[in-house]
Structure formats: structure tokens, C-alpha cells
Amino acid sequence: MLTDVIAALATPPGRSALAVIRLSGRGAFAVAAHCLHPFRPTPPRTVFRAQIVRPTTGEPIDDVLAACFPNPHSYTGEDLVEISTHGGLVVPADVVAALVAAGARPATPGEFTRRAVLHGKMDLLQAEATADLIDAASPVQRRRALQQLDRGLSSRLEELRSGILDLEALIAYDMDFPEEDEGPVSPARVARAWRQVRERVARLLETAPEGERLREGALLVIAGRPNVGKSSLFNALLGRERAIVTEIPGTTRDAIEAHAVIEGFPFRIVDTAGLRHSEDRVERLGIEVSRRYLDAADLVLFCDDSRATLKDSLTVAGNENRETVERDEFLARCVAPVVFVHTKADLAAEPPPVPSFRQSVAVSAVTGRGLAEVRRRLAEVAFGRLLSLGDVEPVVTRARHRAALEKALEELDAFQVAREGGVDAAAAATHLRAAVGALDDLIGAVTPDDVLDRVFASFCVGK
């Protein structure tokens, strides 16, 4: 296990009042003592004021506050020193350089948290949650990350793990006395216990699609014919003028993507070129891009002009009919769930025309009418399951979590197949062992290096 002394800036570089630099590893206090005057490792976890100097020349760099955290009572579980310096580009960099000159090594991304995992200060799920909390861009993401940091998901997995071990205990007699006809535990009771634990694993696994969406943001694609008001709605949902709006059909030619928080949930909203047959080469390319986004969408906001239904019935012209056909073609192709809106409700005749399709919301980017309802529906469609779970039930948020739960479920099913097929108890129990193993990998009880490498690949330096 690597315990050499590492140093890094824990705050982002740039103009700021303060910066925090961390130093961790066996010998961290000795390294700090070369640079901090005075150096006070005792009392532990107590801030002291000091001057930080270059160890080679003794030249002062800054006046700082520092605190020593002797192992194992530190973030990493090692001897750790935290130094608050003045901010900016030069001072923190000079302080890190001084610590390196005194014997530390610049930390690699995520190395502090990785050491915390290796020293048992947190499990792998909590390490991931640390990264998620830092990357959170919406209130729900923050709450979820904090819950996972609090071992919400870890303790659920531990419950499932012990449920599987209980199941194994139920067939212990059958394993010890394979010749006996029936042990003290009836097969029906084993089957019941199996069903219960399987159900709980499956239910947690069901949170994966929305949980993963929560980390990335739901991809919401705004689609519809040119000039129906897609870009206006896009801007209204973002709360700023991001896309160009004109009365000229075909204005938006490229897809524009922006991050937005809707009802506390993260979304990536994409404004696209309107779908229509076009002779314009650039517009055609834009429509092709729209289609690719539509294929990847988590949900689609489909816009129709509120007056279109009226117009459709009045105009027999081939062009209008062709566009209606295009819309139906589009909806047939679209695999993602669709939220329908009728735009420009402020211009529509009152009462608004009967919507041409179900549950359409009448909206106006000009008056703001219907926007709250649209936001509510988008959150409901993209994150309905999470909404109904509330903040207390744990959810899984990464492909790594999903893969481990799928493996556990597979092994549980294989166990039952083996039981029903009359395979002897000891052989059937190997599947339960494998299921427990999958959950252990997920929590990170014993974690191989390559898994750690993957988990920490996305961390930044100083974390």
C-alpha cells in the first residue's frame, strides 16, 4: 500500500481569498516541519498560525493557518496536514512547490480519496458520492450524493448481503446432510426467503435508469416543425436567451445543447432544427443532427403551433398535409417518451382549439402560460420513479452499480434453478456466494486495483 507523502491544492486555482493545500502520508508531519515555522503537531486537529517558507532558502512565501490530523483520525486515515494560504495563482503553487522540495510528491487525481478507501475511512460507494457531491449541478443531485455519502446505498446493500447469507443459512442443514430427505427447514420456506431477497435486489436495480440519468442529466430534445416556437420554449426553459429566435422558418440549423435545472432535476436540453423536407443543404444537415439527437433522447418535447389544428382543417393545400404526415412519421420513429405542447397559446383563439393529440399542454413563451405545467411534466416523465421514491430510498447511479446488481440477480436466479432442478445444496449455495461477492465488489470491501483506477479516473487533483 502506497503511503508516501503527497501534496496538492484542494481548491480550484485562480483568484480567491483563500486556498487550501493538503499533505498526506507517512512522514507528512516531517515534511511540513521543513516549511512551517513554527510547526505545532500538538494538540492535534488544532489550527495554528505559521509562516511558510521555501525549505532550501528559508525565503518566506506566505502567512498561513495550518492544522495537523494524526492518523487514523484524518480524511485519508494517514497523517495529514491542511494548510490555508492566501489564494490566487502564485501563492498556492509556490506552497505546493515548497512542500515538494521538502520531500512530498504531487498527488495524482483522486489520490486522497483513494487512500481514504484503502485505509477503510470510506467505502467505494462513498468515494463515488464524494465526486458526485462535488460535481452536483442541481439540488436533487446534491441530496442524492449526500445520502450516498451518508452510506444510504451502502447500508441497503449490506442488508441485501445479509439477506442472502440468511438464505444460505437456511439450507445449511441440507448441505451438511445431503443424504437426508428433508431438513428442518421446509423447501417452501427457503423459496419464500429467496423470493423476498430477489425482489429487493430487483427493486434496487429498477432505480438504475433514472439514477444514472440523474448523474448525467436527462437528455431532453425539443422537436417539431420549423417556426412553431421551439427555440422560444428552449430559452424559456433555460431562463435566458440562448437560441436565436426569428419569424423566419429554418432559423435554427444546428442543435444547441444547454444544461438546465427543472424542478430540482438536471436536464440537458437540446434545441434542434425543425423537421421538414428542405432543399437547403445546411438545413438538411441540421435536420439529420436532430434525428440523431432524437434517437439518443431520454424524452422529447414535441411542439405544435396552437393554431395549427385550426389551419390543418382549413387548408387543403398539399404542403400542410405533408407536414402532418411528417409528424406522424416522426412520432412512430420516436422511442423516447414524448411530452406534447401546443405553442403560442397567447395567439390561439379562446377557448383553445381541441388538442389534436392527448394531454397536450398549451404554452406561451410570451406570457409564460403553461410553462410550470410543462416543467412538472418533464420532471415527472424523466424522473417519475425517483420522485415517488422520495429522498430516503437509495438508488443506484452508475453503470458499475447496475452491472453488479445484475450479476447478483443472475446468481440468485441460478440458485433457484439449481434448487428446483434437484442440484445438491452445496452446489446451489455457490450461486449465493457469487451473489454476495457481487455486492461486496459493489460496496468495495475488497477492491482490485483496476476497479479503483476506473472509479478514480474522473476525480480531480486534490480530491
Q: Is 229 in the site for ligand GDP (CB under 6 A)?
A: yes
C-beta nearest to Mg ion: residue: 252
Q: Is 447 in the site for ligand GDP (CB under 6 A)?
A: no
The site partner of 246 among Mg ion, ligand GDP, none (C-beta below 5 to 8 Å per kind) is: ligand GDP
Q: Is 430 in the site for ligand GDP (CB under 6 A)?
A: no
- Mention every residue, 6+ apart, whose C-beta is less than 8 A from residue 167: 190, 193, 194, 197, 432
Closer CB to ligand GDP, residue 374 or residue 381?
374
Q: Is 227 in the site for Mg ion (CB under 5 A)?
A: no
Segment near ligand GDP (CB under 6 A); pick from 73-81, 142-150, 212-220, 222-230:
222-230
Q: Is 365 in the site for ligand GDP (CB under 6 A)?
A: yes
Closer CB to ligand GDP, residue 151 or residue 344?
344
The site for Mg ion, by CB under 5 A, has a size of 4
- Pattern 31-60, binding to ligand GDP, x per CB under 6 A? ------------------------------
Closer CB to ligand GDP, residue 251 or residue 416?
251
Q: Is 366 in the site for ligand GDP (CB under 6 A)?
A: yes
Q: Is 231 in the site for Mg ion (CB under 5 A)?
A: yes
Closest approach of ligand GDP to the CB of residue 321, in Å:
20
Contacts of the segment 251-258: beta carbons below 8 A, 24+ positions apart: 251/226, 251/227, 252/286, 253/282, 253/283, 253/285, 253/286, 254/286, 254/289, 255/286, 255/289, 255/290, 255/293, 258/234
Q: Is 92 in the site for ligand GDP (CB under 6 A)?
A: no
The site partner of 370 among Mg ion, ligand GDP, none (C-beta below 5 to 8 Å per kind) is: none
Q: In the set 135, 326, 346, 413, which binds ligand GDP (CB under 6 A)?
A: 346
Closer CB to ligand GDP, residue 161 or residue 225?
225
Q: Is 232 in the site for Mg ion (CB under 5 A)?
A: no
Please give the residue ranges that form the binding site for ligand GDP (CB under 6 A): 226-232, 245-247, 251-252, 274, 343-344, 346-347, 364-366
